[in-house]
Every structure is written in structure tokens, then in C-alpha cells.
Amino acid sequence: MIDEGADWLDIGGNRPARGAPGAATRSACACAPGPAGAPRGDGLPLSVDTMSPDVGEESLLAGADIINDISACRDPAWMPSSRDGKCRWSGTYERHPSRHAAAAGVSPRATTEVREFFEGRLRDLAAAGVDARRVILDPGLGFGKRVKDNFELIRNIHVLKSLKRPVFIGSSRKSFLRNVVGSEQGFLDFATAVVNTAAVLRGADILRVHNVAHAARMVRLLSALDGSEVAPFEASSLSPDRGMDSARRDREPCAVS
């Protein structure tokens, strides 16, 4: 994945299925990057995907750079870690249909709902002393949303961008794509590439993908179409610049695997 062009690596700490209890902290902490201060030869930033403040704290002590929390730090126990200026945070909007009018077949516009959620979370985090400049917004494609809600959110990425924060898109091989193209992996990777292309053209900053090689080549093609100077292709040319700055290139989204 590194050789294919990933800009950072996302490690599963304890992401549960919707409605399922989280993994025990002890076992989830086994996914942390390594002993605190241990060198990472690849130099890539690491994010840890967890809803558990305990796992997040252990991961940061072990050297993680980013916390990817699908609960968007709603647990007050996140606040001490959230105020740590050394890491970035990815917060996800997750709709639970049973708690929304969608369960009765009535739903507000997905984009409005997600934007209002993030406006509220950013206010709450700022009030708690968290630097909003370190927060990344993930609209949570697939999390309790109808198929058409996911496509609406992709069409309206510009609305989320108005919050002045990076937007993280994770469409890779998700069920809303299966609904359109079927479940064969080749078609799912094709659908992912198409949707990610649309997302980048609408302003997405970060793509979470399984097929890094496809995403990295797509970014090169879009850069060339945009008039940027693109070096002749070599496998080594996909290796990202090391360090967090690689996630904030001028127009180029980073690929997360």
C-alpha cells in the first residue's frame, strides 16, 4: 500500500458494527502502532479507527498521529486527548435510522442533516478547547443512510467544504455501490474509482480506499487534467512525501488505506 501511493495508513482499533458493543479495550489496544516512541521506518502518518477514548489514548501514546472516531468525540472522555495539539481528529456523522424520521420513510435532506451535525460538533469541540483546525469531517457514507442519501452527500461535498475543514470520503466497496453495480469486486473497485473521482472534483480532500493503486493513478490523472505538471509515470513516483504535510497538498487529495 505504501509503494502504491498511500499517504497514511488507517488501523482498525475497535470499529464495531452499528448497534454492536465495542471491542474490549485490552484487545483493541493490541492494534496500536507499537511502543511509544518506536521508530516507523515508512514514515507515514498512522490513524487509529476507534470509538474508545481508552484505545485512542493508548494509540496516541504509542505514536499514532490521527484518531478516526465514528462517534465524532461525543464521549466526554475524549476531551483530554482531543485538546492534545499533537494529533488530528477525524469525526464521522453516523445516522441511526431508528432514531430519525427515516425509520418512518420520511427524512430531511441528508446534506442539511450532516452539515447541521458538524456545525454543532465543531461548536462543542471549540467550547471544550479543541482546535477546530485539527478536525477532519467525514459524512459517514453508508452509516445508516439510504442509497440516495449517499449519492446526495457526494454531490453536495461543497456544502460541507463551506465549514472550512478538510472533507474525508470513504466510499470504497460500500453497500450503496453494490446496490448499483453488484457485488463483484472488480465492478466495486470500478464504482469506487468513479465515485471518488466525482468526490475529488467536488472538493474532497481525503479518500479512504482499499485499492490504493487505482486511487493514486486517478489523482495523477485529475492533476494532469487540471493543468498541473505530472512527471512521467514510474512506480516510485507514487510514493508519497513523508509526513503530515502530504495530506494537505494544494489540490491533491491524499489516499488512506
pLDDT digits (tens, 9 = 90+) for 213-243: 999 999 999 999 999 988 888 765 565 443 3
Identify which has the larger pLDDT, 244 or 165: 165
Residue 165 near residue 132 (C-beta atoms within 8 A)? yes
Residue 19 has pLDDT above 50, yes or no: no
The mean pLDDT value for 56-69 works out to 88
pLDDT at 200: 95
- Flag the least confident range among 41-55, 73-87, 158-172: 73-87
List, in sequence order, every residue forming a beta bridge with 137; answer none if it has no partner: 91, 167
**Distance (Å) of CA 95 to CA 35, 103, 127, 202, 246:** 35, 11, 24, 23, 31
pLDDT at 252: 52
Spatial neighbors of 116 by CB under 8 A, at least 6 apart, are none
Q: Could you tell me the pLDDT band of residue 136, with boundaries at 50, 70 and 90? A: very high
What is the pTM assigned to this prediction?
A: 0.78
**Distance (Å) of CA 168 to CA 42, 62, 70, 154, 230:** 23, 24, 12, 11, 24
Residue 16 has pLDDT above 60, yes or no: no
Q: How far apart are CA 208 and CA 256, in angstroms?
A: 5
pLDDT tens, residue by residue, 63-77: 888 888 888 888 888
Residue 35 has pLDDT above 70, yes or no: no
What percent of the chain is modeled with pLDDT above 70?
72
Q: How far apart are CA 5 and CA 23, in angstroms?
A: 31
Compute the CA torsion angle 110, 113, 119, 124 (nearest 10 deg): -130
Identify which has the larger pLDDT, 255 or 35: 255
- Grid cell, residue 21, equals 458493543
Half-sphere exposure of 229 (CA within 13 A, CB side): 1
Residue ranges and CATH numbers for the domains of the chain are 9-256 (3.20.20.20)
- Flag the least confident range among 50-59, 139-148, 230-239: 230-239
pLDDT at 81: 79
- Grid cell, residue 105, equals 420513510
Q: What is the CA radius of gyration of the chain?
A: 18
Amino acid at 196: N
pLDDT at 18: 46
Identify which has the larger pLDDT, 215 or 44: 215
Q: How far apart are CA 14 and CA 11, in angstroms?
A: 9
Spatial CA neighbour of 80 closest among 49, 50, 56:
56
Residue 100 has pLDDT above 60, yes or no: no
The mean pLDDT value for 117-125 works out to 92
The mean pLDDT value for 173-180 works out to 96
- Grid cell, residue 7, equals 499517504
